[in-house]
Chains A and B, each alone.
Chain A
């Protein structure tokens, strides 16, 4: 009951609303087999279902936000300036995850790490310093980055 409602279950509860899709879905039919020159093989399988990026990228729409990365401190993780990050607030922030956190009141992207000295916020660029997480640090985890949208 506490996992997501399936589409079927949702129809029973007309009063439950889903957030609007932020992405305009692009459906691409997938061809399941080889199409050789001439006639398609009767053994080929045409996949019926269309591919939807929303389904692939977003597990919890209500808890998922998009933010725009600014700066280059996370280049090593494949995050460039102006990339769009998909951030899921429902995912637990564990060591190794890339997080968005409110650092001194500003949304900041870092990798969460656990060292022998304790917890730490690390950049992915040697030009930037580690930030140890101590009691006095004004830091709140805002969400976990799950995907990066990078235009080429």
Chain B
């Protein structure tokens, strides 16, 4: 097990990505919106200070937005993915082993990293400074002998600016001092419901939890909570995940920009989701044997009639061919579509996924040449889509794009599109 693990976590990641290319917005209130511009999914410090909570629907805070001139951006996942790779790549040079935990968090194994051993916090400060210098993204670094403690340290480093954004919880005295003042709900893996149940047992602070007997915790709750107690006491129970396991289920779905009414409109949307999902499938070199779709009306609407339906089909032969997936999805739609409803959201779910390299059951009725020609076609399609994104259209799709998500505040793909480079003025 490791002696020292660091969790590096970007501050207000989506907002920070936008600010790299809009330095005029540093210090100003900025928020990033979810798909369809529905909710706020990222807030700058200034927006947080106004009391606007994470995930709040935009229409609920429209007045505040106007009053404080909060700059809004539609989510620019292309940009965030690229910036995330840059951050992770920069972090990789600081440790022999790392785990990319999410788009804006990474664990580093700092045990036996020679320059770190003498002064871990100085090393962490170097990490923070280097990421900022190279990518423009501000981060905080939390360290401890286990992942759970590293996460806790990171939480504290972020919350208390006098730490300088860096905190090491290896020292027992300091660790217990911190754990005594942090509520148990802030521990990694302890959600709201669990923390309420813990509170009912008199376990209120992180220190209270750390002092519990792991066996008792396993009886009362689960092995996961027992492991968390161990981790809080410096006993590592979780290795760094070296390899991201391939997704076992791939879902492509979005809320529609406008309510959709007709079969044709829904078919176009479903065809696009089928296309995207099958692209993801091919990218991880997998095949699927089960295709499902779902469509439904707005569950929160007070006036619209409600309808929610799903359909699925098992395939005789696993595939990643977009034509078959798209056709199947459209046929499934025929089974469940009902007219007279205002559809709000739909999606395609690919499951029963296995690697393309594993031997498949041979379908007696499938001619041998089909799979190969399908593979060649898919490769060509993927190559075209990579060069000219979203340019290939499968028959059912068409050009009516009303179902596409609303995005009124898009920012350029600054780092991935030659035609959308940031401008630098010579004046």
Contact = CB atoms under 8 A, between A and B. Distances in A.
Contacts of A108: 424-427
Given A67-B423, A89-B135, 14 more contacts: A1-B113, A14-B242, A16-B92, A62-B85, A62-B89, A63-B133, A67-B421, A71-B425, A74-B426, A90-B134, A107-B23, A109-B426, A125-B426, A128-B427
Nearest to B421: A68
A27 to B, nearest CB: 17
Nearest to A141: B133
B427 A67 contact: no
Contacts of A13: 92, 96-98
Nearest to B28: A105
Interface string B253-284: 00000000000000000000000000000000
Given A2-B93, A15-B244, A63 B86 contact: yes
Contacts of A109: 424-426
Contact of A16 (B24, B82, B98, B424): B98
A30 interface: no
Contacts of A106: 23-24, 425
Contacts of B88: 16-17
B312 interface: no
Contact of B424 (A4, A15, A60, A100): A100
A110 to B, nearest CB: 8
A53 interface: no
Interface in A41-99: 60-63, 65-75, 79, 81, 84-85, 87, 89-90
A79 B425 CA distance: 11
Interface in B369-427: 414-416, 418, 421-427
A62 B86 contact: yes
A103 to B, nearest CB: 8
Nearest to A67: B424
A100 B421 CA distance: 14
A13 to B, nearest CB: 7
A141 B279 CA distance: 40
B46 interface: no
A15 B85 contact: no
A89 B134 contact: yes
B98 to A, nearest CB: 6
A66 B421 contact: yes
B244 A84 contact: no
Given A15-B98, A22-B415, A63 B90 contact: yes
